[in-house]
Structure 1
């Protein structure tokens, strides 16, 4: 009578049982530190018990407790804000261009945050009483203020309990240091969250309307030239962002504009290290300039 030999499924079953036993030990004293737990999870991924995305999310959740709000906040200088005394026509451009849903409302300056404006609350002013003057004090919601040192896991709990999606970050002196959103925290766990205003990772140029396009700053100049039928040189700079930054003469902030040849470049997303997104608009030549050029051409032909 032949002996029963273990099958491949039996071996896999023992493999999984052994790993799950080790996981249970993780919550009863083994491993004794977080690095040991991460090593065990990576071993599980190598054994195909977890896929790469699941492992990344678990590691992200573990790291969130080690990070502080200051590590991910949007700096004060890059906050898109609205003023307390702004009229509707002044509010619409930043709301439309940024694509954000919430905006800090400021008084005299950026350190004077008095509330939060939710973009959808502006819809009432597009009804029959669209001519009614905006009362910002009635529109805005209370602002949530948090210190730079708050841990991200605690911040996430506070977002959930308070039902806020945005918090204003203050420094040790009480001044505004920046702001953080619930999406910023979640991205540390699940990775970058794209929305309808983000450009597909595989594309460089997103045309919005005739004469205006959103362009990634990392767009190669060769690709930019091909799309816009321009002839910018790529000898000194490889990307359109490099060319634009050089034209500014400094690292620009959001909202700054510069015109190069017949195109206006407006910075719509940037940080303290580089430009991310540009709004590119075709600037037609002024009629007087065209007439002057045409006159010169006629004179040259007569000569």
Structure 2
């Protein structure tokens, strides 16, 4: 049974839009910015050989700059379908609040039946203003709070999508494949980070604090936290992994243990018994980790 959206649905219509559709007469900030970058030289600056990417020591960080607006496509920055946090249109208030709380997101796609039949998005602010977070709402209906979503093809340049988001005042887009199914998700923050680098918000650990202790045997840490310093904090040797490649950060260790960039929510075990839960990550790098040390962990 096919779960693709109806050809008349917004998802299928958005996926078939041409990438060179003419924009509005009045150019927005990103349109002007993108246009001004056409004649600019590509930005090839890096942050130096010692900077870690994905928590792994590499020769260079990913190249940032205005040239990415033309060079990169939506598929290069989109969150894979498997990592999309979304809710059913039939979800009740308690379940919706739980998804917001557990995911840490402020916007969630809403679907009918399956994610391949998206209806729009719900904003945390709308839920809070209308219903609050305490008590029960007898007349709660998620469908009455839906905001529009953008639907874009994976081959669209991110500069075009950035302009489209600004014009339509929408911060989230679903990536639709050739069959009309949902293939990924992109936020405006994902696009801007390709130009200026990672954006830290008020929920991120401060740069001066590479980790914070959450309990007797649990820590929340940045992926770029120095591995040797964190070993001293735990009193457990973590770097003695049977591999020729050396790592200097927690993210690098987790990458080495899993052999890839793990998805958000994935738990990566260490031979000592320590567990690394990926709290925040994108398809290219690990950002934050929760470290749990069981009582039987080897010192």
Q: Name the TM-score class by shorter chain.
A: 0.5 to 0.7
Counterpart position of 2:264: 254
Larger relative contact order, structure 1 or 2 (CA cutoff 8 Å, min sep 6): 2
Please show how residues 276-291 of structure 1 align to structure 2 within 5 Å.
276-281=287-292
SS in 1 for 2:114: coil
1:65–1:153 CA contact under 8 A, matched in 2? yes
In our comparison, the structure showing a higher alpha carbon Rg is 1
CA-atom RMSD in angstroms? 3.6
Please show how residues 1-303 of structure 1 align to structure 2 within 5 Å.
34=39, 37-38=40-41, 60-123=65-128, 124-126=130-132, 130-132=136-138, 134-207=140-213, 213-227=219-233, 229-236=234-241, 238=247, 239-241=249-251, 252-257=262-267, 265-272=276-283, 275-281=286-292
1:125–1:132 CA contact under 8 A, matched in 2? no
* Shift in alpha-carbon separation, 1:111–1:201, aligned structure 2, 3 A: farther
Distance in 1, matches of 2:182 and 2:266, equals 22
Give per-residue Cα distances to partners, 1:103-130, cap 9 Å, x unaligned. 1123333323222111112213326753
Shift of 1:149: 1.8
2:88–2:112 CA contact under 8 A, matched in 1? yes
* Shift in alpha-carbon separation, 1:84–1:270, aligned structure 2, 3 A: same
2:151–2:174 CA contact under 8 A, matched in 1? yes
More helix by share: 1
SS in 2 for 1:60: coil
Comparing 128-137 and 150-159, the one that deviates more: 128-137
2:148–2:170 CA contact under 8 A, matched in 1? no
* Shift in alpha-carbon separation, 1:284–1:84, aligned structure 2, 3 A: farther
1:159–1:165 CA contact under 8 A, matched in 2? yes
Counterpart position of 2:58: none
Shift of 1:205: 0.8
Comparing 90-99 and 240-249, the one that deviates more: 240-249
Structure 2 unmatched ranges of 5 or more = 1-37, 45-63
Distance in 2, matches of 1:68 and 1:250, equals 22
Please give the TM-score of this superposition, normalised by the length of structure 2: 0.62
Please give the TM-score of this superposition, normalised by the length of structure 1: 0.62
**What is the aligned length?**
233
Distance in 2, matches of 1:250 and 1:62, equals 27
2:93–2:137 CA contact under 8 A, matched in 1? no
Structure 1 unmatched ranges of 5 or more = 1-32, 43-58, 286-303
1:259–1:265 CA contact under 8 A, matched in 2? yes
* Shift in alpha-carbon separation, 1:257–1:86, aligned structure 2, 3 A: farther
1:245–1:251 CA contact under 8 A, matched in 2? yes
2:97–2:133 CA contact under 8 A, matched in 1? no
